[in-house]
Amino acid sequence: VGVGLVGLGVVGTGLAKVFAEHGADIDARLGFPVRLVHVADIDLARDRGVDLSRVARSTDWKEVVANPAVDIVVELIGGTGVARDVVLGALAAGKSVVTANKALLAQRGAELDEAAERAGRDILFEASVAGTIPVLRALREGLSADRIKTLHGIVNGTCNYILTQMEEHGESYAGCLKRAQDLGYAEADPTADVEGHDSANKLAILLGLALGVRASVKDIPTRGISSIEAIDLEYAQRFGLRIKLLAVAKRAQGGIEARVEPTMIAESSVLARVSGSMNAIEVVGELSGPTLYCGAGAGALPTASAVMGDVMELARSLRVGAARRVPSLGTVALREQPLLRSQDVEGEYYLRLWVLDEPGALHAITGVLGRFGISIASMLQPEHHHERSVPVVFLTHMTKESELRSAVAEIERLASVRGAAQVIRVEREL
Amino acid sequence: VGVGLVGLGVVGTGLAKVFAEHGADIDARLGFPVRLVHVADIDLARDRGVDLSRVARSTDWKEVVANPAVDIVVELIGGTGVARDVVLGALAAGKSVVTANKALLAQRGAELDEAAERAGRDILFEASVAGTIPVLRALREGLSADRIKTLHGIVNGTCNYILTQMEEHGESYAGCLKRAQDLGYAEADPTADVEGHDSANKLAILLGLALGVRASVKDIPTRGISSIEAIDLEYAQRFGLRIKLLAVAKRAQGGIEARVEPTMIAESSVLARVSGSMNAIEVVGELSGPTLYCGAGAGALPTASAVMGDVMELARSLRVGAARRVPSLGTVALREQPLLRSQDVEGEYYLRLWVLDEPGALHAITGVLGRFGISIASMLQPEHHHERSVPVVFLTHMTKESELRSAVAEIERLASVRGAAQVIRVEREL
C-alpha cells in the first residue's frame, strides 16, 4: 500500500519519521508493507532531519494525488483553502484520505462526507480531535451501540496548560500565556486557541460523532480563557472547584446544547485532574454510563501516531477490498438540528464582582438577584482589597442563563459595583 | 445480519434488551438491519423481563450455531468448558464470534485465534476487559502504529470498590467485602476477584494486544487485596500515595515484566482518582505518550453495550465482505516470550512491620536492610499501639525484589518483630 503525504510541517515531518523509524514494526503488525512513496511541500529545500531520498518529492500536491502508486493521501497542510482542494482532489482521484485538519472538517464536513461517499472512498481524521487519543474511533465504533447523552471535553492543550499554570503559581493570564509561547505550547498569535475557536471546531466534529448532529461552528456559543483571572481560580478552589475550558454537548429537553466556555467543575472529578497540555473527553452513554479518554492533545509524534493509526486502518481495508465499511461519522445520516440558544439554557453560576467597601452595597446586589428570581447557593467575601473595592463572590442555584445575564447587566450599573462582573458556569454533572 | 446469542444470564439478558430497545437506533446508524434471531440457554422458562416471542429459542446451543439465519454467534455463558465448544463450533460453522469470556481468552487464546484464522472468520471480545471502555479497540487499531512501553490497569471493579471503601471509611477488608457482597459488587465466592485471578486473565489478554506477547496466565505473578489492611491505606496517604490493585505490563531490560498486585501510586495521578467500581487503563506508547481510558468495568447494560459494539463491527464487515480485516489481537503473529521472573524485577517498596516498643528494635531492622543493600527513602512511626507493639513503616529506594524478600524473611525472624511484614510495591511512573 502506497501513501502520499501533502505538507511537511511539524506533524508531516513527524509522520515521515514514523515511517522511517517504525516502518518495519508496522509492516510486521499489518502482515504486509505500507510505504511512504510521495511527499509534497512548497519548501523541499529545508533539512527536516529525515531521509526522504527514496521518496518522490514534489512542490505541487497534484503530482501526489495523480501518482498511481499512491493509494492513501495524507493531508497535513492545514487551513481550509488548498487543504480542501487536496482532500477533494484525492477523493475524486479514487484515493482514500487521512487528515488532521479540524477547521476544514468543522467547516466543510458535509461537503467532504459527500465527496467521500460519491467516490466510494474513506476519509479518516482521528488526529483532528484530542491528538493521540483514539476517541473518535471509540465513538465511531466502540460506543456505536449506545445513545450518547453528554460529552465534556478538554480539547485544547494550550488553554489547559495556561489554566494549570495560573492555578499552580497564582500567576496572571498574560504571564502564563507568555510562558506558554516561550515553551512552544502557544503560537505567536494565540487567538484561535485562547478564544476557544479551536475547541469549537473540535466540538463541531464531536457533535457529529457523539450525537449524530450536524451543527455549524458559528452557532456554537464560544468563550475563551482570556478573561479568567488568577483570583477566580483561587476562589474556585475555596468552593472545591477548578476551572477548565470545556467543550460541552448534551441532549437536553427541546434539543441539543453545545458550547465552549471556561467552566467550574468539582476538583474531585477525574477531568479536574487533567493538567498541563493534556486533553481529555468524558462521554456519558445511556447504556455504557461514563467513559473517559485522556492523552496528549498535540505534539509532532503523538499526532503522527494517530495519523498513522488511520493510515493502517485504511491500508487494512484496502487489503481486503472493503472501503466504506464505517461511514466517516459512524452513522449513515446526520440530522441537521439547530442548537438550543444559550439564553434558553439553565445552569448554576459563579459570579464575582468588585464592590465598594461601604454599607448597603451587598444589599443592593442581592436585591437585583432576588428580583430576577436567582437564588444564592453560597457567598464568599475574600479578604482582598483593590483600592477602595473588595471582591464578592456568589454561587447561584439553577437559573436560566438569560435571567442571569439580565441581572448581571443591572448589577454592573449599580453605583457600588466597579468594573465588569465575572460570570462562569458551574457544572455539577462531572 | 442475524445474531445468535448463547447464554441468557445477566449480560445476555442485557444484550437482548439492547436489541429490543435500541434496535431501531442501531439499524439507522448502520444503514441496514441487525436482528437477534436465535437464543439458547439451559433455562428458557425464567421470565427475564424481555420479550423473546419473535426469536427462536433452544436449550441446545448447537441449534443456534447450525441456524443458517445466524451470521454472528455471541457467547455469554462464561467458563472454559461449554463456552469453548460454542466458540470453536461457531467458527467451524463459518460464523464470526463475539465473546466477553476473559478466562477462556486468557487460557485458550492461541487455540481460538488459530480456529478463527482457519475459518477465515473474526472473533471480537471488547467486553472481556474493562467492560464498557473500548480500550481493546484503541490498542488494536488506534494505537497500532505505536510501540507500547507500559500498561497499568485497574481492571477489577470489585477490588477497586473494596479498596475505595476501606480508604474512605477506614474500615476493615472483611467489612468492606461484606458490604460489596450485599450490594452485588462481589460474588458469594469472591476468590477470583479479590485474589487477583480475574485481573490476571485480563492482563494476559492485554499483553497480547499491547505488547504483542503471548504469555500464560499461570506465569503472571498475582497477588490480591485480601492482605491489605486499613492502616496501610492510611499510612499510604501520609506519603501522598494510594493503594490500587494494578495489572502491570512493561517492556524492561531483558524482557517483559507483568504482574498483578496491590500497588501504591501518587494520589495526584489520574489513576489514583479512579474510585468505586470504575476501571481504568493507562498506556504509554513511544510515540503517543500516555493515554488513559476509564469507565464502568461491569454491569449488564455497559457490558451489553460493548458486546453490541462488537456485533456492529462484525455486521459492518460482513456487509462489505471483509472478514479478517484486523487480526483479533491487532497483529499478525504474537511472540511467545517468557516473562521476567519477579525476583529479577526492581522496584521501590512500602514495608510495614509491627515491632516491640523497646530499645534497639529499630536498629536491628535497619541493620538487616543495610546488609542487603536496601536503602531507606523515608520512615514513619505512626502513633498506633497494639498490645506492646508499634507499627514501623519504611519506603525504600529502588531495590531488587529478591533482595527485599530475603531481607524481609530475616527481619520477620527478629525477636522484636511481631507477625508478618506487609510489603507493597510503590510505582512512581504514574
Chain A positions touching B316 (Cβ under 8 A) are 325-326
* Residue of chain A minimizing CA distance to B146: A305
Tens digit of pLDDT for each residue in B376-387? 999 999 887 888
Instruction: Write out the DSSP string of A91-116.
Output: HHTT-EEEE--HHHHHHHHHHHHHHH
Chain B positions touching A268 (Cβ under 8 A) are 273
CA distance B99 to B271: 27
Tens digit of pLDDT for each residue in A194-211? 999 999 999 999 999 999
* B292 contacts A304? CB cut-off 8 A: no
* Residue of chain B minimizing CA distance to A310: B142
| Cell numbers that stand for A123 in this block | 476519509
A295–B contact, CB cutoff 8 A? yes
Candidates B300, B303, B307; CA nearest to B72 is B307
* ipTM greater than 0.85: yes
| Cell numbers that stand for B323 in this block | 472478514
In terms of DSSP bridges, do strands A35-40 and A56-58 run parallel, antiparallel, or are they unpaired? Answer: parallel
One-letter amino acid at B79 equals: G
What is the percent of chain A with per-residue pLDDT over 70, rounded to a whole number?
100
* Residue of chain A minimizing CA distance to B32: A332
A335–B contact, CB cutoff 8 A? no
What is the percent of chain A with per-residue pLDDT over 90, rounded to a whole number?
84
State how far the alpha carbon of B351 is from the alpha carbons of A84, B131, B164, B233, in Å: 61, 34, 21, 13
Among A130-134, A307-311, B254-258, the range of highest mean pLDDT: A307-311
Q: Number of residue pairs across A and B with CB atoms under 8 Å?
A: 203
- For an interface test with B, the pick among A113, A154, A284, A288 (most B C-beta atoms closer than 10 Å) comes out as A288
- At residue A54, the 3 state secondary structure works out as coil
Mean pLDDT, range A282-308, rounded to an integer: 93
Tell me how crowded residue B104 is: count the other CB atoms within 10 A of its CB. Answer: 25
* A309 contacts B287? CB cut-off 8 A: no
CA distance B255 to B257: 7
The per-residue pLDDT for B204 is 96
Is residue A132 exposed (0-12), middle (13-18) or buried (19+ Cβ within 10 Å)? buried
State the catalytic residue, choosing from B202, B244, B250, B400. Answer: B202
A157–B contact, CB cutoff 8 A? no
Tens digit of pLDDT for each residue in A346-391? 999 999 999 998 889 999 999 999 999 999 999 999 887 888 899 9
The per-residue pLDDT for A338 is 82
Q: How many helices (H) and strands (E) does chain B have?
A: 13, 18
Higher local confidence (pLDDT), A310 or B298: A310
The pLDDT of residue A298 is above 90: no
Residue A323: band (very low, low, confident or very high) from pLDDT cuts 50, 70, 90: confident
A30–B contact, CB cutoff 8 A? yes
Candidates A110, A26, A49, A112; CA nearest to A75 is A112
3-state helix, strand, coil in chain A (%, to 5): 40, 25, 35
* Residue of chain B minimizing CA distance to A126: B142
State how far the alpha carbon of A209 is from the alpha carbons of A139, A144, A204, A330, in Å: 6, 9, 9, 6
The pLDDT of residue A30 is above 90: yes
Cut 0.80: pTM above it: yes
Intervals of chain B under pLDDT 70: none
CA distance A412 to A419: 7
Our CA-based measurement puts residue A139 at a distance from the nearest CA of chain B, in whole angstroms, of 9
A197–B contact, CB cutoff 8 A? no
CA distance B253 to B341: 12
The per-residue pLDDT for B333 is 80
Chain A positions touching B306 (Cβ under 8 A) are 142, 288
> Which residues have a Cβ under 8 Å from the Cβ of A79 and sit 6 or more positions away?
A101, A103, A104
CB-closest option in B212, B285, B294 to A292: B294
* Residue of chain B minimizing CA distance to A324: B320
Is residue B397 exposed (0-12), middle (13-18) or buried (19+ Cβ within 10 Å)? exposed
* Residue of chain B minimizing CA distance to A298: B288
| Cell numbers that stand for A266 in this block | 468539582
Q: Which residue is associated with the grid cell 483514539?
A: A134
* A29 contacts B330? CB cut-off 8 A: yes
The pLDDT of residue A131 is above 90: no
* A321 contacts B321? CB cut-off 8 A: yes
Our CA-based measurement puts residue A367 at a distance from the nearest CA of chain B, in whole angstroms, of 41
Chain B positions touching A308 (Cβ under 8 A) are 145, 287
- For an interface test with A, the pick among B32, B129, B146 (most A C-beta atoms closer than 10 Å) comes out as B146
The per-residue pLDDT for A327 is 86
- At residue A1, the 3 state secondary structure works out as coil
Active site residue B17: no
Residue A185: band (very low, low, confident or very high) from pLDDT cuts 50, 70, 90: confident
Tell me the pLDDT of chain B averaged across its residues.
94
* B294 contacts A291? CB cut-off 8 A: yes
Candidates A263, A403, A422; CA nearest to A354 is A422
CA distance B280 to B262: 15
A138–B contact, CB cutoff 8 A? yes
Tens digit of pLDDT for each residue in A108-117? 999 999 999 9
* B321 contacts A322? CB cut-off 8 A: yes
| Interface subset of A 352-411, CB within 8 angstroms of B | none
B31–A contact, CB cutoff 8 A? yes
Is residue A319 exposed (0-12), middle (13-18) or buried (19+ Cβ within 10 Å)? middle
Mean pLDDT, range A213-217, rounded to an integer: 91
| Interface subset of A 212-241, CB within 8 angstroms of B | 212
Which helix (H) or strand (E) segment holds residue B377: the answer is strand B376-380
One-letter amino acid at B71 equals: D
* B137 contacts A332? CB cut-off 8 A: no
Our CA-based measurement puts residue A376 at a distance from the nearest CA of chain B, in whole angstroms, of 30
CA distance B106 to B207: 10
Residue A282: band (very low, low, confident or very high) from pLDDT cuts 50, 70, 90: very high
The per-residue pLDDT for B323 is 87
| Residue A393 contacts residue A352 (beta carbons within 8 Å) | yes
A141–B contact, CB cutoff 8 A? yes
* B324 contacts A321? CB cut-off 8 A: no
| Residue B159 contacts residue B193 (beta carbons within 8 Å) | yes
